């Protein structure tokens, strides 16, 4: 049997394989594995921000109602097996190793074919489908896209419900450089006669989703039309034709989280209406209150206060800034930031400057991490502090915190993973 370290190493090596722009290789891979993705009832999520939180609210509500739920997300937080979870708990290292051993011969077979060997995300997606197909009495799996939607390896699914949380300018080198191009890629998860839940707010994007849903004969359930969320600082109200829920409470901070929770509630209503799912109001409220996700404006330490948030793009950083200013009006903020080189780093920094002018930018060991030269190229280095070693930066900043100060670690989710391990 492989060791867990060796299994990880073999998956890591697949990052070097050639990207395949299409779903054919993924379909062939799954066919050779017995089409495990066809053996479970799934819910499919795409969107620029909020996928992980919406997934977590949905999973937590279904768990509270007594259902067993598998989830697949990316990137991983600490270890690769974190991406594949059952009822909120990562699969064991032993199960992960067994899955890798099963898929290795198929990877080798594909390597010798015209398709070539699959890349890491294709392999991880297949491993998730394999695991969920083997779990006894699993009720639902919730699958998060990795990038886009139309050509994403997860888009082999025919789900019960599809969700598009929102659309923003992200991954423009792959998805297109304007909202409609990106929206068209995300809309690729809409399947014939499968309902779509949308949290998108731009009218041109909503119009595109309406057109695509009509072409696919799918019903569109749009935030602000078929259902609404009314925000307040501590609670929110959800309304639709089916229900009105008042004084709903969340553990996660921010009005954007209330919107994510509303998308989950609307999805529950669709499951109740069309798939014989039963969720009592008590389970819904409890599920929302208990749902937490690491690195989503997470207070990881209180004295001194340290908050981590994976605001990995401009929309995420804006939500972070708004939430911190509203939730901690008496605090002073210090930010430790790093991101991938292909993100809108200048705009993200400008948003963070609304929170504080004490921003320290660093780098971390990832091939796409922004480096010193690139930081100085895109930013005004006279008003910028740069520390090469993220470990030194983090420990020094945390050690120097005053009672009224908060250290906010934000940017790439991969960056946060490194900081947490430090």
Q: Where are the alpha helices (DSSP H) in 69-171?
A: 93-111, 120-134
Q: What is the dihedral of CA 89, 92, 93, 98, to 10 degrees?
A: -130
Mean pLDDT to the nearest integer, 280-293 = 97
Per-residue confidence (pLDDT) for residue 314, from 0 to 100: 86
Other CB atoms closer than 10 Å to residue 233's CB: what's the count?
Answer: 9
The percentage of residues in the chain with a pLDDT greater than 70, rounded to a whole number, is: 96
Residues 6+ apart with CB under 8 A from 211: none
Structural domains in the chain, CATH included, are: 4-290 (3.40.1190.10), 298-421 (3.90.190.20)
Total Cβ atoms within 10 A of residue 419: 22
Residues 265 and 199: their CA atoms lie apart, in Å, by: 12
Residue 29's nearest CA partner among 128, 95, 146, 98 is 128
Q: Average the pLDDT over each of 190-194, 293-297, 333-337, 389-393 and give the range with the smallest value.
A: 293-297
Lowest mean pLDDT segment, chosen from 90-104, 106-120, 157-171: 157-171
- The pLDDT of residue 172 is 44
Run of H or E residues at 378: helix 372-378
Q: What is the mean pLDDT of residues 34-44?
A: 98
Give the three-class secondary structure for 247. Answer: strand
Q: Give the tokens for residue 58.
A: 């949905």
- For residue 4, give the H/E element and its range: helix 4-13
- CA-closest candidate to residue 59, choices 251, 264, 247: 264
Indicate the pairing of strand 84-86 with strand 89-90. antiparallel
> Which of 37, 280, 303, 278 is CA-nearest to residue 153?
37
pLDDT of residue 376: 78
Confidence band, pLDDT 50/70/90 cuts, at residue 382: low
**Tokens 């997606």 belong to which residue?**
125
DSSP string, 111-129: HTSSS-PPPHHHHHHHHHH
pLDDT digits (tens, 9 = 90+) for 79-95: 999 999 999 999 999 99
- Per the listing, tokens 């609210």 go with 57
**How much is the average pLDDT of 59-65?**
98
pLDDT score of 44: 98
Residues near 106 by beta carbon (within 8 Å), at least 6 away in sequence: 29, 32, 33
Q: Rounded to the nearest 10 degrees, how much is the dihedral formed by the CA atoms of 145, 339, 16, 71?
A: -30
What would the pLDDT profile of 108-151 be if each residue is shown by its tens digit?
A: 999 999 999 999 999 999 999 999 999 999 999 999 999 889 99
Residue at token pair 């009006």: 329
Read off φ and ψ for residue 136, nearest 5 degrees.
-75, 140
């Amino acid at each position: 049997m492989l060791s867990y370290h060796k299994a990880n190493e073999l998956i890591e090596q697949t990052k070097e394989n050639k990207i395949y722009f299409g779903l054919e290789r993924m379909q062939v891979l799954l066919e050779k594995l017995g089409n495990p993705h066809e053996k479970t009832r799934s819910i499919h999520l795409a969107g620029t921000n909020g996928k992980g939180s919406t997934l977590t609210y949905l999973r937590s509500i279904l768990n509270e109602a007594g259902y067993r739920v598998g989830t697949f997300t990316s990137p991983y937080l600490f270890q690769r097996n974190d991406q594949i979870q059952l009822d909120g708990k990562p699969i064991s290292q032993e199960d992960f190793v067994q899955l890798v051993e099963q898929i290795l011969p198929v990877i080798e077979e594909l390597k010798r074919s015209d398709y070539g060997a699959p890349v890491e995300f294709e392999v991880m997606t297949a491993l998730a489908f394999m695991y969920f197909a083997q779990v006894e009495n699993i009720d639902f799996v919730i699958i998060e896209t990795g990038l886009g939607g139309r050509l994403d390896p997860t888009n082999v699914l025919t789900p019960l419900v599809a969700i598009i949380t929102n659309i923003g300018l992200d991954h423009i080198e792959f998805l297109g450089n304007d909202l409609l191009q990106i929206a068209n890629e995300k809309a690729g998860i809409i399947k014939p006669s499968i309902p779509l839940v949308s949290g998108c707010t731009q009218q041109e994007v909503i119009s595109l989703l309406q057109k695509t849903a009509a072409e696919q004969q799918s019903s569109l359930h749009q935030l602000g039309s078929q259902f609404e969320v009314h925000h307040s600082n501590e609670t929110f109200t959800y309304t639709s034709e089916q229900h009105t829920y008042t004084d709903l409470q969340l553990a996660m901070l921010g009005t954007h989280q209330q919107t994510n929770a509303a998308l989950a509630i609307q999805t529950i209503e669709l499951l109740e209406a069309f798939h014989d799912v039963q969720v009592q109001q008590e389970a819904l409220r409890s599920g929302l209150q208990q749902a937490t996700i690491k690195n989503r404006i997470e207070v990881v330490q209180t004295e001194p206060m340290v908050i981590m948030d994976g605001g990995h793009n401009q929309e995420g950083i804006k939500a972070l800034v708004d939430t911190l200013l509203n939730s901690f009006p008496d605090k002073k903020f210090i930010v430790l930031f790093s991101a991938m080189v292909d993100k809108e780093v200048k705009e993200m920094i400008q948003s963070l400057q609304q929170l504080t002018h004490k921003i320290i930018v660093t780098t971390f060991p990832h091939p796409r991490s922004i480096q010193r030269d690139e930081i100085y190229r895109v930013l005004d280095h006279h008003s910028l502090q740069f520390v090469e070693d993220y470990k030194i930066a983090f420990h020094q900043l945390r050690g120097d915190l005053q009672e009224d100060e908060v250290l906010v670690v934000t940017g790439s989710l991969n960056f946060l993973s490194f900081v947490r391990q430090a």
